[in-house]
Structure 1
Amino acid sequence: MKPNSKNSEHKSPSIITIGTFDGVHIGHQKIIERLVKTGKEKGLTSTVLTFFPHPRMILQPDFDIKLLHTIEERKAVLSQFGLDSVVIKKFTKVFANLSAEDYVKQILVDELNAKHIIIGYDHHFGKNRSANIDDLKIYGKKYGFVVEEISAQDIQDVAVSSTKIRQSLLEGDIQTANSYLGYPYFISGKVIKGKGIGKTLNFPTANIDAEAVYKLIPKDGVYVVKSNIAGMDVFGMMNIGTNPTFEGKKQSIEVHFFDLDANLYDINLKIEILYHLRNEHKFESVDLLKIQLQNDKLSALKHIEKLHE
């Protein structure tokens, strides 16, 4: 698949589904699977049309929205499900003010050459979200595309999954979040220099800069993680938090990789989160923290062993 984030026109007729697809979880995957299957049957280019920034970021800038994926992460995950194309439309106030018919004609018909659209029964579009699926069906007759409705149950599954994933991550319940995602939740970012606290504890860490402020970071705590570095899967444990034993104030994301001796500065890493070991808390002394870190490592290694059974 060649993700398409520009406004270049599709040369071939397409089958499209439209949405934010934040998380690309099991509910979304069901819709994408249907899209790809129907596209192959009808000889149409299977296309996801998604938007960035999130509409609320533009229309409600005071709303503190947290997303499961950065736009680059979303694009990368979508690329794994057999789609022919991912189109990322820049959401602006000008775009938001397009009339329903202008949106259909300019984007869906002229730009994407839509012949078949799979969409939720509750889909709204156009200025002030004034048009609905019935309007889209009318436009379909006018402009030559079919509208296929996603059932209320499937839409409910999508909504429930998104809510459950966010709640679970904020509670540190990684297993539930991952079960709804269908893959491990992950954080991606560049390795930056930290304060060097890990080295003093004999647990050197890679400090991850998750640059996007809108990325949802799980609850503070210690987690078992995995990353692919130079083509090899490497396991480790990650601390999200403020280092309260050292009177820290700012949240950091620090990963200690097991059996790895490498300079990771300035490398971009994808950190898959597999298991929640414990919450972060303040220790009475550095020595007690060191003992706890050794115990954390033993617990992490036991969990990793189970993964390979």
Structure 2
Amino acid sequence: MKIYHNLSEFSKLENAIVTIGTFDGVHFGHQKIIKQLVTKAKADGGESVILTFFPHPRMIIDPENQDLKMINTINEKAEILKNLGVDHLIITPFTRDFSNQLPEDYIKHILVENIGTKHIIIGYDHRFGKDRSGNLTDLKASGLHFGFTVEEIMEQDIHDVAVSSTKIRQSLLAGDVGLASDYLGYPFSIFGRVIKGDKIGRTIGFPTANIFIEETYKLIPGDGIYAVTVELSSDLKFESLKENPEASTLNLKPSIFKGMAYIGQRPTINGMTRNIEVNIFDFDREIYGQDIKMNFLKFLRHDVKFTGLEALTIQLQKDKEATLEYFASIEK
């Protein structure tokens, strides 16, 4: 899959099969649309193109609202779309100027002149252009003029997509990573860099890797303890998609370990900041500065303030046993 961070980087195609959207989570509903896109492109001898936007339009239109969190970072989204067989991903910078384009200019300059759209798969309620005044009727009328066809995604399919996106966010914030994964079709994950902590975990027999997430818009699950798998390798790096448009965000064969993750403010030691930490089982390597991927598989318990480190240590041992029991149950 080729990735472009601006329409100016993209060379017009002879037969572009296009869909447009933010596709946060790239969940089951999105995957249905994208598979339809890829299948249509192959059947027509064309190339599949996804036009998406970054930052999310709501971050620009309503910058005071910091509540919006994304299920995927842009790199995570790109990796998933690549695995679904998409040919081209255009990540268009979303600005106020972009949002103020007239609908007819958007269709002519972007869809026709820049991309070379011959067929577009789009939702019945898709809106675009200044004040979101453009709609499906405009697209169909322009298609007759410019020579592209429009395939409508029906209302029920759109409704399913919207509901599942909402449920995924709600589930993750509640800690229900299992339900979220059911809707996503894959385990929810976070990517981050291992940074130095205060090493309290080492003193009680549960050393943890502290994870720093650079993307502040990334949704983090609710506070608590989770069973996770951790993917890493000595040379695992998240290559910048800007520096290398065709870079994969993951090493193809990372080492995978079991572990238990903690998200919270560490109330037992009167912590003041929210931490993301993982205790990786059967692991004793130094990995400071390394990027890792953590897959959330099961919620174990909520965060609790204990009477002291001794009580916390006893509970952590129980958490580890529960985590190992979970892995044993899914490996049978």
Which TM class, normalised by the smaller chain length? over 0.9
Name the structure 2 match of 1:248. Answer: 271
Q: Distance in 2 between matches of 1:270 and 1:10?
A: 35
- What residue number does 1:2 align with? 2
Which residue, out of 39, 45, 57, partners 1:55?
A: 57
Aligned 1:117-132 pairs, distance under 5 A: 117-132=120-135
Amino acid at match of 1:110: E
CA contact (8 A) 1:188 1:210 kept: yes
Aligned to 1:110: 113
Q: Is 1:203 equivalent to 2:206 in the alignment?
A: yes
Q: How does 1:125-204 map to 2 (within 5 A)?
A: 125-204=128-207
Specify which of 77, 93, 96 is matched with residue 93 of structure 1. Answer: 96
SS of residue in 1 equivalent to 2:227: strand
Distance 2:2 2:291 in 1: 22
Structure 2: distance between partners of 1:24 and 1:48: 12
- Does the 8 Å contact 2:232/2:291 carry over to 1? no
Paired residues of 2:99 and 2:129 also in contact (CA < 8 A)? yes
Contact 1:9 1:110 in 2 (8 A): no
Structure 1 residue 73: Cα displacement: 1.3
Q: Which runs of 5+ in 1 are unaligned?
A: none
**Aligned positions of 1:55-74 closer than 5 A:** 55-64=57-66, 65-74=68-77
Share of identical aligned residues, percent?
Answer: 50
Residue 212 (str. 1) matches residue 215 (str. 2): yes
Q: CA deviation at 1:9?
A: 1.9
Q: Deviations over 1:210-269 (max 9, x none)?
A: 111111111000001112222221110000000000000110100110111211111111
**TM-score, normalising length from structure 2?**
0.91
1:295 has 2:318 as partner: yes
Equivalent of 1:41, from 43, 57, 61?
43
Which AA in structure 1 matches 2:323? A
Shift of 1:5: 2.5
C-alpha RMSD of matched pairs (Å): 1.0
Runs of 4+ in 1 over 6 A off after TM superposition: none
Q: Distance in 2 between matches of 1:180 and 1:86?
A: 23
Distance in 2 separating the partners of 1:84 and 1:77: 12
**Residue identity matched to 1:295:** K
Q: Which amino acid aligns with 2:223?
A: D
Q: CA deviation at 1:110?
A: 1.4
Per-residue deviation at 1:4? 2.5
Task: Decide whether the 8 Å contact of 2:121 with 2:151 is kept in 1.
Answer: yes
Preserved contact between residue 13 and residue 44 of structure 1 (Cα < 8 Å): yes
Preserved contact between residue 232 and residue 293 of structure 2 (Cα < 8 Å): no
Distance 2:187 2:323 in 1: 16
User: How far apart, in 2, do the equivalents of 1:156 and 1:49 lie?
Assistant: 21
Structure 2: give runs of 5+ residues left out of the alignment.
Answer: 234-253
- Tell whether the 8 Å contact from 2:140 to 2:149 is kept in structure 1 after alignment: yes
Which secondary structure state, in structure 1, belongs to the residue aligned with residue 285 of structure 2? coil
Aligned pair count reads 309
Please tell me whether residue 31 in structure 1 is matched to residue 54 in structure 2: no
How far apart in 2 are the matches of 1:262 and 1:14?
A: 48
> Does the Cα contact within 8 Å between 2:189 and 2:296 map onto a contact in 1?
yes
Aligned to 1:279: 302
Q: Is the 8 A contact 1:5 1:87 kept in 2?
A: yes
- Give the Cα–Cα distance (whole angstroms) in 2 for the partners of residues 285 and 63 of structure 1: 38
